[in-house]
Amino acid sequence: MECVFCKIVRGEIPTELVFENENLVAFKDINPVAPVHILIVPTKHIESIDAMETYDQPLIGEIFQVMQKLARQYRISDSGYRIFVNTGADGGQEVPHLHFHLIGGKKLGKCW
């Protein structure tokens, strides 16, 4: 499959993982928009929020737990951070494999 995030999950694109378990991986965005910019990605290929099934719901809880842990680890819990998920064309989604952006480390402007 030509999905770039599936390739990262399979180790075909060398990428330093900042978190890894059987359900999720996390790594730094190649084009960061802030001092901390981490992507949290299910190991299973789910195209987007729109493609999620009921049985994927527990994964979302786990993703938020991991993002809280990473925010603490990268010391942005106190200063604050933003989590976002781009979905589809108007949402600006470029990689069609569900991923959560965790960004922080500077004062973030509103982008809408």
DSSP characters over 17-46: EEEE-SSEEEEE-SS-SSSEEEEEEESS--
Q: Which residues are marked as active site?
A: 99
Asked if 88 is part of the footprint of ligand 5GP (rule: CB under 6 A), the reply reads: no
- Binding ligand 5GP (rule: CB under 6 A), the pick from 9, 24, 25, 27 is 27
Asked if 6 is part of the footprint of Zn ion (rule: CB under 5 A), the reply reads: yes
Q: Which does 97 bind (CB under 5 to 8 A by kind): ligand 5GP, Zn ion, none?
A: Zn ion
Asked if 29 is part of the footprint of ligand 5GP (rule: CB under 6 A), the reply reads: yes
Asked if 92 is part of the footprint of ligand 5GP (rule: CB under 6 A), the reply reads: yes
List 27's β-bridge partners, or say none: 17, 39
- Binding Zn ion (rule: CB under 5 A), the pick from 40, 67, 81, 97 is 97
Residues 6 or more apart in contact with residue 29 via CB below 8 angstroms: 37, 38, 39, 101
Asked if 95 is part of the footprint of ligand 5GP (rule: CB under 6 A), the reply reads: yes
The least distance separating ligand 5GP from the CB of residue 39, rounded to whole angstroms, comes to 6
What are the strands of the beta sheet with 17-20, ordered from one edge? Answer: 17-20, 24-28, 36-42, 100-104, 81-84
Residues that bind Zn ion (CB under 5 A): 3, 5-6, 45, 97
